[in-house]
């Protein structure tokens, strides 16, 4: 599964068994993460039957982050990508890693890892830039 998904309204469908090889692979990413996102019973139904859902229901079930009309799909995706790209790349990588780790690790481990990542991030040039930008009341310019 992706970090976030944006689906178009007209005719979009979501399936957790995207292709034939995945239907035969019980260790696919869909099997691993979908039950956390949408619950075991919904995930099992979709994975075992191959049923699809429309974009509106995918949004309701938190499988996608937003649904937009087809003619606005690329604009919305680029806008989201631009907002993400304004942040420090190092912090983005660590945040994504921590989010993925939180799916399988105990809370204590995730909190420890979070503290480590925060300490590591404080040593980066981007952190120095963020602090300076805050003090100077300007937008940060990350590397």
Give residue 25's pLDDT: 47
Region 87-93 average pLDDT: 93
CB 13 within 8 A of CB 53: yes
Q: What is the pLDDT of residue 74?
A: 86
Confidence of residue 20 (pLDDT cuts 50, 70, 90): very low
Antiparallel, parallel or unpaired: β 6-8 and 66-68: parallel
Q: What contacts 44, CB < 8 A, 6 or more positions away?
A: 35
Residue 137: burial class (beta carbons within 10 Å; 0-12, 13-18, 19+): exposed
Closest by CA position to 30, among listed 7, 49, 47, 6:
47
Q: Does the pLDDT of residue 21 top 60, yes or no?
A: no
Task: Name beta bridge partners: 63.
Answer: none
pTM exceeds 0.75:
no
Task: Look at residue 34 in the predicted model and tell me its pLDDT.
Answer: 73
Average pLDDT of the chain to the nearest whole number: 80
Residue given tokens 């039957």 in the structure block: 49
Which 8-state DSSP code applies to residue 18? -
Better-scored residue on pLDDT, 128 or 28: 128
Domains observed in the chain = 6-84 (3.90.226.10), 88-135 (1.10.12.10)
Tokens 């480590």 correspond to 116
- 3-state helix, strand and coil shares in percent for the chain, rounded to the nearest 5: 60, 10, 30
Residues 6+ apart with CB under 8 A from 22: 28, 30
Q: What is the mean pLDDT of residues 64-74?
A: 83
pLDDT tier at 11 (50, 70, 90 boundaries)? low
């Amino acid at each position: 599964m992706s970090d976030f998904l944006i689906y178009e309204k007209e005719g979009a469908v979501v399936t957790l068994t995207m292709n034939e090889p995945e239907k035969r692979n019980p260790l696919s990413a869909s099997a691993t993460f979908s039950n956390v996102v949408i619950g075991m019973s919904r995930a099992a139904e979709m994975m075992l039957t191959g049923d699809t859902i429309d974009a509106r229901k995918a949004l309701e079930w938190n499988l996608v982050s937003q649904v937009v009309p087809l003619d606005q799909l690329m604009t919305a995706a680029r806008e989201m990508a631009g907002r993400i790209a304004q942040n420090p790349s190092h912090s983005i990588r660590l945040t994504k890693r921590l989010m993925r780790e939180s799916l399988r690790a105990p809370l204590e481990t995730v909190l420890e890892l979070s503290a480590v990542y925060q300490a590591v991030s404080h040593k980066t040039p981007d952190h120095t830039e963020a602090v300076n930008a805050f003090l100077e009341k300007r937008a940060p310019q990350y590397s």
